[in-house]
A and B are shown apart, each in its own frame.
Chain A
Amino acid sequence: MSEDTQDRPGRISARPVPHPGRWVAVAVIAVLLAMMVSSFVTNPRWDFPFALRVMNFNPVLRGLMFGTIIGTIGSMVIGVVVGVVIGIMRLSTNPVLRGVSFVYTWFFRAIPRYVLLTILGTGLGYLYSTFDIGAPFGKQIAHALGLSSDLTFLTLDVNQFSSTLAMGVIGLGLSEAAYMAEIARSGIQSVDVGQREAAQALGMSSGKTMRRVVLPQAMRVIIPPTGNETIAMVKDTSLLIALPVNTELFYQVSVIGSRTLKIMPTYVAATAWYLIVCSVLMVGQSFLEKRFGRGFGVTSSSGPGAFKARMLALRGGGGGL
């Protein structure tokens, strides 16, 4: 300790509060970790080398690429776009639009995704074997007027389409939109009314006000839960087998597992891929949060201090959301 030669106290150099409990916890965790690693090494049934090979099998990689990655991207794009529209409708002054938005959210939040995908895969083709694009009630009108054409421009065979990745992406996307609508709505509502007024006072139309002023600020609130939704969607692509879609990661490793009878290592392979994909997404999420947090981080908008400041804010140190 530094001795003060003057009577006035000087710079503080105090001893920290001891935390013996923390060291006990560290020791316990270290022992548990050592036990786990030892079991990995000594238990041959883990068979990590085989798991690693499974990860690189072609069908597995195709399943990862199409079912998991493209499935996630596609359904999240549909989910975000439809969700933002539904969310904006929910805030509309038009009661019909508000009602439609409410019913949509109510319906798709109540249906389990596995059930929804099963219905789309088998039930839809039973009800409607073709999907016709044409004038509304075109067939009835054509019949009444005795026309030779039935006013249909394009016909899709639903049974051919029902077990495709596209159908799965539509199903997951529509389901996701219900959740994204709620997230978008809360984000839009989090923006101060004064922001809208300032934009309007400058002569911006309501559409431009939404695009240029409200949504960019709402993004700050929308992005963290959207990141969670995306990560959840990565896992929910394993439900695509309900359609059924075969080019899907978990189905492909299961096939290898039942063929080789080394079931557990194939599950390890799938787990490893899910971990990798989700880790990459988490990096992307933190990048986006930084991008849309511009102007809100008080002084430094980037750099190592920003993360620390955010953690402090989480603990109630002020600032933040």
Chain B
Amino acid sequence: MANETTQPLVHAVNVTKAFHGNEVLKGIDMDVRKGEVVCLLGPSGSGKTTFLRCINQLETIDGGRIWVDGDLMGFDDRGGTLHHLTDKQVAAQRRDIGMVFQRFNLFPHMTALQNVMEAPIQVKGGRKSQVKERALELLGSVGLADKCTAYPAQLSGGQQQRVAIARALAMEPKLMLFDEPTSALDPELVGEVLRVMRDLAKGGMTMIVVTHEMGFARDVADRVVFMDGGVVVEQGPPSEVIDNPEHQRTRTFLSRMRQEEQH
């Protein structure tokens, strides 16, 4: 495919996905450049979370192709015939893509520090002392230097999500996926997580964020993609899509979000 110098980091073409005959993604095209922050907006059931999960193969796609940094995700293209990748090859493709979940999904039987150290040691085979140094640094950067020995159950939701971000960053990913990272949080804890994400965006990380946080999308996103019914309805800079949407569906969604925010 495209071998230009401005090759996008994520290049998705005509991605389709159905669950039990119910088509959730109906041909998604999306390019994300290196260093870009893209927010996916849309009502629940619009397919934005499913699309995010397709990028790192937590869901297998039915049609279309997704390339990340030039690698075709999930398949080996041998002269036009696609071959499924083995479990190990899929795992290797996921290494460079960090993911943050709505429900944190920290490993409850490990401390915060062990959570962050787990993958670099187990997957990358890093030296324990070096990995630990880096993990402490990361926990410090998300403001949790003093919580290293705490188990997830002893942390608040916001703290858990920040550990989860540090855990993903420990693999030094070239792309970070955020699946509604603040939706499971109490309102007063949302800010601390968004702050970490803002810092990350400022540091040049490529991010795809599924979110309902309009303020974050407006301030941080380079581009906002509005999805509904399994298709991309419109996309563009936040100043256009959020403040001056073209499509009726986008307008309806945004006005409903505004009403909810005021309640």
Q: Is A202's CB under 8 angstroms from B108's CB?
A: no
Whether B153 sits at the interface, judged by CB under 8 Å, is yes
Q: How far is the CB of B179 from chain A (nearest CB, A)?
A: 10
**Residue B119 at the A interface, CB < 8 A?**
yes
8 Å CB interface, B69-114 against A: 87-88, 91-92, 94-99, 101, 103, 105-111
| Residue among A203, A213, A292, A299 making CB contact with B107, cutoff 8 Å | A213
A205 within 8 A of partner (CB): yes
Q: Is the CB of B122 within 8 A of A204?
A: yes
A206 in contact (CB, < 8 A): yes
A303 to B257 CA separation, bound complex (whole angstroms) = 49
B101 interface neighbour in A194, A203, A208, A212, Cβ under 8 Å: A194
Complex Cα gap A216–B107 (Å) = 10
Question: Whole-angstrom distance from the CB of A178 to the nearest CB of chain B?
Answer: 28
B-contacting residues, A284-301, CB 8 Å: 292, 294-299, 301
**In the docked arrangement, what's the CA distance between A272 and B246, Å?**
84
Q: Kindly list chain A residues whose C-beta atoms are within 8 Å of the C-beta of B87.
A: 205-206
Nearest-neighbour CB distance to chain B for A240, whole angstroms, equals: 37
Give CA–CA (A212, B167) in the complex, Å. Answer: 15
| Contact yes or no, B91 A200, CB < 8 A | yes
Set of chain B residues within 8 Å of A292, measured between Cβ atoms: 109
CA distance A213 to B109 in the complex (A): 8
- B105 A295 Cβ-Cβ under 8 A: no
Question: For residue B91, which residues in chain A have a CB less than 8 angstroms away from its CB?
Answer: 200, 203-206
Complex contacts, A194 vs chain B, CB 8 Å: 101, 103, 105
* Nearest-Cβ distance from residue A137 to partner chain B, whole angstroms: 32
Q: Are A204 and B119 in contact (CB under 8 A)?
A: yes
Say whether B58 contacts A295, CB under 8 Å.
no
Is there a chain B Cβ closer than 8 Å to A68's Cβ? no
- A25 contacts the other chain (CB 8 A): no
Does A1 lie at the interface of the complex (its beta carbon under 8 Å from any beta carbon of B)?
no
Size bracket, chain A contacts: 20 to 34
Minimum Cβ distance to chain A for residue B207 (Å): 15
Chain B interface residue count, Cβ-Cβ cutoff 8 angstroms = 33
How many inter-chain residue pairs (CB < 8 Å) link A and B? 80
**Residues of B close to A295: CB separation below 8 A:** 108-111, 151-153
In the bound complex, residues from chain A placing their C-beta under 8 Å from that of B164 are 198
Q: Which of these, B110, B119, B151, B152, contacts A203 with CB under 8 Å?
A: B119
Contacting pair B153 A202 (CB below 8 A): no
Rounded to whole angstroms, the CA-CA distance of A283 and B119 in the bound complex is 35
Considering only residues 208-225 of chain A, those with a C-beta below 8 Å from chain B are: 208, 212-213, 216-217, 220
What string of 1s and 0s marks CB contacts (under 8 Å) between A208-248 and chain B?
A: 10001100110010000000000000000000000000000
B119 touches A195 (CB 8 A): no
A296 pairs with B153, CB closer than 8 A:
yes
| Shortest beta-carbon distance from A195 to chain B in Å | 6
B168 at the interface (CB under 8 A from A): yes
* A201 smallest CB distance to B (angstroms): 4
Nearest CB on B from A205, distance (A): 5
- Given contacts A202-B168, A203-B171, A205-B88, A195 and B94 within 8 Å (CB-CB): no
Q: Does B50 contact A (CB under 8 A)?
A: no
Interface string of A250-294 (1 = CB under 8 A from B): 000000000000000000000000000000000000000000101
Closest CB in chain B relative to A52 CB, distance in Å: 45
Please tell me which one of the listed residues A198, A206, A208, A216 contacts residue B105 in the complex, with CB atoms under 8 A apart: A198
A160 to nearest B CB, angstroms? Answer: 45
Asked if B141 lies at the interface with its beta carbon under 8 angstroms from chain A, I say no
Can you name 21 A-B pairs with beta carbons within 8 Å?
A195-B107, A198-B106, A198-B107, A199-B107, A200-B91, A201-B56, A201-B94, A201-B99, A201-B168, A203-B91, A203-B94, A203-B171, A206-B91, A208-B122, A292-B109, A295-B111, A295-B151, A295-B152, A295-B153, A296-B108, A296-B109
**6 A-B pairs with the lowest CB-CB distances in the bound complex, closest first:** A203-B95, A198-B105, A295-B151, A202-B119, A201-B99, A194-B105
